[in-house]
A and B are shown apart, each in its own frame.
Chain A
Amino acid sequence: MSTETENTGEALDSSQSQLRRLIGADAIKSMPFWLLPAFLVGLFIYGAVLWNFVISLTDLQGFGTPSFSQLDFDMYGRAFSDPQFLFAGQNTIVLLVVFTIVCLVLGLGLAILLDQDIRRRGHLRTIYLLPFSLAFIVTGQVWLWMYNYNYGVVNTFTRSLGLGQYQIIGNSQIILGAIITALAWQFVGYTMVVYLAGLRTIPDDQFEAARVAGVKDYRIYWKVIIPQLKASAASAGVILMVFALKTFDFLFAMFGQYRPQKGADILATMMVREAFQKLEWAYGASIAVILFLMALGIISPYIYYQYKVNEI
């Protein structure tokens, strides 16, 4: 009640100067709005990330409690001399790059198609976006069946086309490609939606003017429209890359266990396996720190740029 009368008294002042005078008090008065969320995020996200770093410096494993007497970077040395880590790291980067490029290119194509004058555009958008609303644990099962050696759809087609049968899941040469295909199926719709939002901000008359001037459609897209979608591509790209770093559910669902088939291991799955299956907490935590740094390398330029242009 006292705050109410206080505000009423000062409300007659110009709002700017009032805000300046109250700036300290407002931080306290506004606490009911933000303190609990900030506490939860601070504890469970930032606190956990920091604590994870500390654990990565110990030798914690099994069911014990960590000893903090000797903190060192041994686990990172172990990671970089572990062939499985190097292999998984390489796979992570291949997945990240190929998956992101495939989604950005196909998503752009879909967005341009749907941006044309077609009926039932909304329904089509819903269909393309449908895979994105499904759990990875679900789509992993579906694609496992698609890739089945004897009865799966992919092998039924390759057989009937005379291309032979492929052990897709068991073949370390093609398994990563199969995973990228399945993940792209799920994320292309998302990328398309981000582009469509970008396309909507481009005024129609730019297109019309170029068309009147006799410029071919594909050149209009190439020269006028696509360059204006850079911001959409950047924001979708960051999300896609960070997703590629952390994807775990899909691989777990596909293989039904912590260890993906040969050739499909990535850092995200290796981290969970080391920590939660082998109970190598400190080693898992160190891989998690490396993943975190990779994500930071992707997002910090983006956030910095957004902050500078006042988009945040």
Chain B
Amino acid sequence: MTVSTVHPSAAAMFRTAEGLGLWPYRGQVAAVGIGHSPTMRRWDGRPETSIGAWSIMAIRNAIDDAGVPPDQVDGLALVAPTSSASPWPADAPVPDGFLAMFAAGSHPLDGVARLSPEWLLKNMPELTNVKFVLIAPQCMSMALAAAIEAVGRGLTSTCVVVRSWHNFAGRYRHGGENAEPTVSGPAKHYNLWTGPGGLYRTAMQFQRYLHKYGKTKDMMAPFVVNSRRNGLLFPEGYWAQHRPTPLTTEDYLSSRWIAEPANLLDNDLPIHAAGAYLVTTAERAKDMRQKPVYVLGHAGAGVVNGTKYSGLKWRGVIETLEEAEDFAAATARKVYESAGVTAADIQFENCYDGFSLFHVFHIEGFGFAGIKRGEALDLFQTDISIEGPNPVSPSGGNIGSGRTRFWMFTDSIQQIQGRAGARQMAIDVQVGLSGGFLPFWSNFIVWSKTGQ
């Protein structure tokens, strides 16, 4: 067994500064393999469906998909937390069946409510040659961008990237401090009025957007309906697997409010699932089972300070619409500069949509399909389907397939490989964009069929 070097910070991998120019490894790194677990709404308590088991399954599927012997994998990138807000119940024992099935990690909840490289490598004995381990924050967008950069720099040549999401019983953020009569910590300046979570902030941003540009909430309906449609064509996704019911405009407009102008269907559904990718050098990719999808560039928003990588700071108690717009526009400049492309080259976009409403800010920042600020909702009234000239969120995103923040990468890779099945777009796919999560903190990747 090779001894792995674990890099606990991925901060050095992110391209967040302005003016970095063309990505030096443009066209030299490719994604090849894709691996998914099944999905379920919540963990059923069986060891074989634990988030650890499904993470292993997703990694093995990605390696198998690429047609690579496991001992050729020399890198592993992961996000350690496996949820955004579904804690393991305090003092609840880890099920005996789980403990019997898996070698223990250093943390008692490894494989149940978090991942560690130690736990994964102990339970994946076939990964005998992993020398480089990278722990990224938050999202697949960060883990994947970091892994791509690491391959470009030669720190690893064949790297698997995994991001997993558990979901246990109970509603996000109900109970605990939110059930108490007092509140502490810095969040009190926000939570006191709304409760925790980004939805309230997004709803207030979007209300300002409607006011500023003279638009109406119902103009979001084509986006959400289209996202469900695309999600139902995504066999790996939750809605396709468990609730294959199309959504109508009337369903969307009659959905109950959570924080008006955000209704229930503007929110993604928390699920239990794992996803993984195999990225490698363009040279090695040529011999693998699937067609390489080349990376032209990557960049994002955030602040890198030594080993710390955090989101951009906003001035007041929420990120204002104008701040979100400026952050998104700056990200687009950096991404296009990195990839050596312009907005006109981007044929499809898979920007993150965990709340549907902020998808608008991303695609306006990127100028997708020629739109400017205030025009995304007008674009949604045109043909944004996979059959049309400007496919919007062909993955269906989190809205169409459940809360994972990785569907957009699977879809982008599959579309360019020509194996998106019923979701395959009508256009001759050459270049697309995917990434997330929010304007103030993001990583986006430009994908290409040719690497040119």
Do chains A and B interact in one complex?
no
